[in-house]
């Protein structure tokens, strides 16, 4: 195993703190550069104050095959405003000047990283203050591409487990996973309608039987009530499309945002955090 | 399966779906178990004589195979060089080579107990073939098609509707083939239990590139036999157009280990290779990247964002190419050329006037290179065009470009 304590320190510390507070962690997703670099940096900085424990930062990609309309549109806005992978890393670097503790996990697709150059990307990501990454189109079968080099570089590689990942396959999926496991609670794309959460507890137990890592659950979490329901059953709740939706609603006709954008996102995240906190375990 | 020679170029892919560095399985975890199940089912079917018998029966009586290898006498005279043959896939039921692959996959879907079929389509030929096979076997069929392509390939949209398929116009991205593929993948990720994704070209995650190739090899296998019986020897060269590369790999593969047979793949040069984002020639103008489940040559910008590309032909308008072609380019075994919109239009008209055959715009690209190269070859040079489809679907596009009918 390539996982090690020193490698996942920010993520581990954060989960330990949440456990000490007897609550699940809130993981929030935003797309870097949406609606533009400056507003998205302001949102990023505001997230921890609103109660985000871990931040997933989306790396825009032209062909987001696993994403629904909300995140597709967010990526498009970001790219139209000039966001690049280099720009994403810059955002993290800026964020780190103000926040040394909140874990940052990059999320996206492999091609921009591959084109940037895997080795160079890992060096730059580490230097920027990135803690880990979720790369949707890299299953364990392709671990040599990025997962193993990332682990060697001291970055977490967080894998998705899904309802189609059966018990026979689960060990393969978990083998080189570090930081936490992200359980996608439905088969589908991001932003899909609210799933039936009754099966979540069983799924989390099934995964925990195979790993000591915290299990985060996401897909379809839209409000504080849903967040509370999941927080009662999992180590973390992931919210993405709902945050993007709240951001999108504040944009003007030219898709520009401003202070109201930051405020809307902060408000939703505070509510989600309250939902998570209400579900003390 | 016959035993391949030791250094055979026909051995790929390896167990993980790689052709050299190309290919692989770059898909979301949700799809990974499905792809592994598909691989098992395909391996199983390959070994089952009953599966082959059923497919072969359909190819004979439903598709009308073998398709003729036709001596294009007037074109040969006109060009004054190589002796030109057409491998007439346009005579297949549904009017293109696409049905060869679709029937193989639909029979597989039936073995796997899948009742709902999804497909992406560009020119609409693969969509029509899929809708046809679904009608034939009573399966639900949903076809994703870029909204731009829905517009420029209207006749095929009508055909799919007549056949009972649901055509979903895709509004994301450039609203062409790549976006249709994204949307089909989104559907598959959502409907994992009952749905079979019938990919229309030799691309996508393993095992699709190898599986689609195997189904299309009937083109090259027949060409080989027919040329041997008509001319007593192998062809000297073969030409095929390349969108994702399925008709080309099907024609080329049976000749890969015959060094005397020159192989030419022809990409779409659109407005010209020098026009940024104005063509769809991923080998000529792209570089290695990862999209739609495989590593291959892609048209993209410096940040790794996929470009939209352009071709007059909806079937070639794809910023990637099947991984085996990427590998064959690197090995040098196949020569890859490109033809512009204009060259394809000229070849389209030439073929119609001289041979009484209206080709699809896709193979018109390959024909354009034959027009260029055939005159330089000796009269006993046997040259084959993979005539992958007929041009009925393109008459409005062509009329537009030629200034109305
Ligand atoms: C007639 C015809 N030829 C060729 C193609 C290109 O596909 P491929 O490269 O997979 O053969 C298409 C695709 O729609 C087509 O309709």
Task: Going residue by residue through chain A, which has 281 residues, state the pLDDT in tens, using 9 for 90 and above.
Answer: 444 444 448 999 999 999 999 999 999 999 999 999 999 999 999 999 999 999 999 999 999 999 999 999 999 999 999 999 999 999 999 999 999 999 999 999 999 999 999 999 999 999 999 999 999 999 999 999 999 999 999 999 999 999 999 999 999 999 999 999 999 988 888 887 777 788 899 999 999 999 999 999 998 899 999 999 999 999 999 999 999 999 999 999 999 999 999 999 999 999 999 999 999 76
- For residue B298, pLDDT beyond 70: yes
Q: Which of A197, A252, A231, A207 is nearest to A39 (CA)?
A: A252
B65-95+208-402: CATH topology is Rossmann fold (3.40.50)
Residue tagged 């503790």 (tokens): A101
Mean of pLDDT values over B214-227: 98
Counting from 1 in the atom list of ligand 1, the atom nearest the Cα of B216 is 11
Q: Are A210 and A174 in contact (CB under 8 A)?
A: yes
Decide the pairing of beta strands B335-340 and A104-108: unpaired
Q: Which of B97, B211, B218, B351 to mutate to test the pocket of ligand 1 (most atoms within 8 A of CB)?
A: B97
Per the rule left: phi > 0, alpha: psi between -120 and 50, beta: everything else, B98 is: alpha
pTM above 0.90, yes or no: yes
CB B41 within 8 A of CB B105: no
Q: Could you tell me the pLDDT band of residue B152, with boundaries at 50, 70 and 90?
A: confident
Q: What are phi and psi of B252, to 5 degrees?
A: -80, -40
Residues B313, B361: contact at Cβ < 8 Å? yes
Identify the pLDDT of residue A2: 47
Q: Where in chain B is the domain with CATH 3.40.50.1100?
A: 18-50+98-205, 65-95+208-402
CB atoms inside a 10 Å sphere around CB B51: 18
Residue B33: predicted pLDDT: 96
Please name the residues in contact with B335: beta carbons below 8 A apart, sequence gap of 6 or more.
Answer: B262, B263, B264, B265
pLDDT of residue A1: 44
Q: How far is CA B261 from CA A38, B11, B235, B251, in A?
A: 59, 18, 6, 12
Residue A3 pLDDT? 45
Which value does ipTM take for this structure? 0.95
pLDDT score at B404: 59
DSSP code string of A193-259: PP--GGGHHHHHHHHHTT-SS-EEEESS--SHHHHHHHHTTSSEEEE-HHHHHHHHTT--TT----H
Q: Does A184 touch chain B (CB under 8 A)?
A: yes
Query: Is the bond preceding B94 in cis, omega lying within 30 degrees of 0?
Result: no
Minimum distance, in Å, between the CA of residue A274 and any CA atom of chain B = 31
Q: Which residue has the tokens 């994703």?
A: B144
Q: Which residue has the tokens 């070994």?
A: B47
User: How high is the pLDDT of residue B271?
Assistant: 97
- B-chain residues within 8 Å CB-CB of A68? 186
| DSSP line for B56-124 | HHHIIIII-PSPPEEE-HHHHHHHTSSEEEEEEGGGSTTSBTHHHHHHHHHHHHHHTT--EEEEEESSS
Q: How far is CA B197 from the centre of its chain?
A: 16
Contact status, residue A73 vs residue A248, Cβ threshold 8 Å: yes
DSSP state of B201: S
Architecture of domain B18-50+98-205: 3-Layer(aba) Sandwich (3.40)
Task: Give the Cα separation of A21 and A69 in Å (integer).
Answer: 36
Asked if the C-beta of A162 comes within 8 angstroms of chain B's C-beta atoms, the answer is yes
Distance CA B170, CA B292 (A): 16
Average pLDDT estimate for B47-68: 98
Would you state the structure tokens that stand for residue B384, as one six-digit string?
Answer: 């084959």
With pLDDT > 90 as the criterion, what percentage of chain B qualifies? 93
Per-residue model confidence as pLDDT tens digits over A85-126? 999 999 999 999 999 999 999 999 999 999 999 999 999 999
Q: Hey, is B261 helix, strand or coil?
A: coil
Tell me whether residues B33 and A160 touch, CB distance under 8 A. Answer: no
B238 phi, psi to nearest 5 deg = -140, 140
Q: How much of chain B is in helix, strand and coil states, percent to nearest 5? A: 45, 20, 35
- Give me the residue label for tokens 């990454």: A133
Q: How many residues does chain B have?
A: 405
- Per the CB < 8 Å rule, is A72 touching B34? no
* Cross-chain residue pair A66–B189, CB shorter than 8 Å: yes
Angstroms from A21 CA to nearest CA on chain B: 32
Report the gap between the CA of B304 and the closest CA in chain A (Å). 4
DSSP strands (E only) in B155-303 = 166-170, 195-197, 237-241, 262-270, 287-291, 293-298
- A67 catalytic residue (yes or no): yes
Average pLDDT on B10-32 reads 97
For residue B2, the model assigns a pLDDT of: 66
In the residue annotation, B388 being an active-site residue is answered as yes
Q: Which two tokens stand for residue B90?
A: 């346009």
Report which protein residue has its CA nearest ligand 1's atom 4.
B362
In this prediction, residue B312 has a pLDDT band, given cuts at 50, 70 and 90, of very high
Q: Do B186 and A85 touch (CB under 8 A)?
A: no
Name which of B16, B34, B303 is nearest A85 (Cβ-Cβ). Answer: B303
pLDDT tens per residue, range B264-286: 999 999 999 999 999 999 999 99
């Amino acid at each position: 195993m390539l996982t090690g304590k020193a490698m996942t320190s920010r993520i581990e510390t954060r989960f330990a703190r949440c456990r000490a507070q007897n609550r699940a962690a809130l993981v929030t997703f935003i797309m870097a550069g949406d609606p533009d670099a400056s507003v998205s940096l302001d949102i990023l900085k505001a997230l921890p104050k609103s109660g985000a424990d871990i931040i997933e930062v989306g790396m825009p990609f032209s062909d987001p095959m696993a994403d629904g309309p909300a995140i597709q549109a967010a990526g498009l806005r970001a790219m139209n405003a000039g966001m690049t992978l280099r720009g994403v890393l810059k955002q993290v670097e800026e964020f780190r000047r103000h926040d040394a503790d909140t874990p940052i996990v990059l999320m996206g697709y492999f091609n921009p990283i591959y084109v940037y150059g895997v080795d160079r990307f890992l060096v730059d990501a580490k230097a920027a203050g990135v803690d880990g990454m979720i790369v949707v189109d890299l299953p364990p079968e392709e671990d040599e591409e990025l997962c193993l080099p990332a682990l060697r570089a001291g970055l977490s590689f967080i894998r998705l487990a899904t309802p189609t990942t059966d018990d026979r396959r689960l060990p393969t999926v978990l083998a080189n996973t570090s930081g936490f496991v992200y359980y996608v609670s439905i088969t589908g794309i991001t932003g899909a309608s609210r799933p039936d959460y009754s099966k979540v507890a069983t799924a989390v137990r099934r995964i925990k039987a195979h790993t000591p890592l915290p299990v985060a659950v996401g897909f379809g979490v839209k409000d504080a009530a849903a967040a509370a329901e999941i927080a009662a059953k999992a180590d973390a709740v992931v919210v993405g499309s709902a945050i993007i939706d709240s951001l999108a609603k504040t944009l003007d006709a030219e898709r520009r945002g401003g202070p109201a954008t930051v405020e809307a996102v902060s408000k939703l995240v505070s509510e989600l955090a309250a939902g998570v906190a209400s579900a003390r375990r | 399966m016959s035993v391949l020679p030791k250094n055979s170029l026909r051995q790929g892919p390896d167990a993980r779906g790689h052709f050299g560095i190309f290919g692989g399985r770059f898909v979301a975890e949700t799809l990974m178990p499905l792809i592994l199940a598909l691989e098992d089912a395909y391996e199983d079917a390959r070994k089952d004589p009953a599966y082959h018998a059923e497919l072969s029966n359909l190819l004979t009586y439903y598709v009308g195979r073998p398709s003729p290898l036709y001596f294009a006498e007037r074109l040969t005279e006109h060009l004054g060089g190589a002796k030109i043959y057409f491998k007439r896939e346009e005579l297949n039921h549904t009017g293109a080579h696409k049905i060869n692959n679709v029937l193989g996959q639909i029979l597989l879907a039936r073995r796997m107990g899948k009742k709902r079929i999804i497909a992406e389509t560009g020119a609409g030929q693969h969509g029509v073939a899929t809708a046809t096979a679904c009608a034939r076997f009573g399966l639900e069929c949903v076809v994703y098609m870029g909204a731009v392509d829905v517009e420029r390939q209207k006749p095929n949209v009508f055909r799919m509707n007549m056949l009972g398929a649901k055509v979903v116009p895709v509004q994301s991205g450039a609203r062409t083939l790549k976006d249709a593929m994204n949307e089909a993948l989104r559907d598959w990720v959502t409907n994992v239990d009952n749905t079979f994704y019938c990919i229309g070209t030799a691309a996508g995650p393993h095992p699709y590139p190898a599986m689609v190739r195997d189904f299309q090899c009937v083109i090259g296998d027949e060409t080989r036999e027919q040329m041997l019986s008509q001319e007593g020897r192998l062809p000297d060269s073969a030409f095929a157009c390349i969108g994702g590369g399925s008709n080309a790999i099907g024609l080329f593969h049976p000749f890969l280990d015959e060094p005397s047979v020159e192989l030419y793949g022809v990409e779409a040069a659109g407005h010209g290779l020098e026009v940024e984002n104005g063509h769809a020639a991923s080998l000529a103008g792209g570089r290695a990247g990862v999209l739609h489940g495989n590593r291959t040559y892609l048209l993209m910008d410096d940040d790794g964002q996929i470009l939209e590309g352009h071709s007059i032909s909806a079937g070639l308008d794809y910023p990637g190419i099947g991984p085996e072609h990427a590998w064959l380019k690197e090995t040098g075994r196949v020569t890859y050329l490109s033809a512009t919109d204009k060259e394809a239009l000229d070849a389209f008209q030439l073929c119609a006037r001289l041979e009484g055959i209206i080709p699809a715009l896709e193979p018109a690209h390959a024909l354009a290179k034959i027009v260029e190269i055939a005159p330089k070859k000796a009269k006993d040079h046997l040259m084959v065009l993979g005539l992958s489809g007929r041009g009925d679907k393109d008459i409005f596009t062509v009329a537009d470009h030629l200034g109305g009918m």
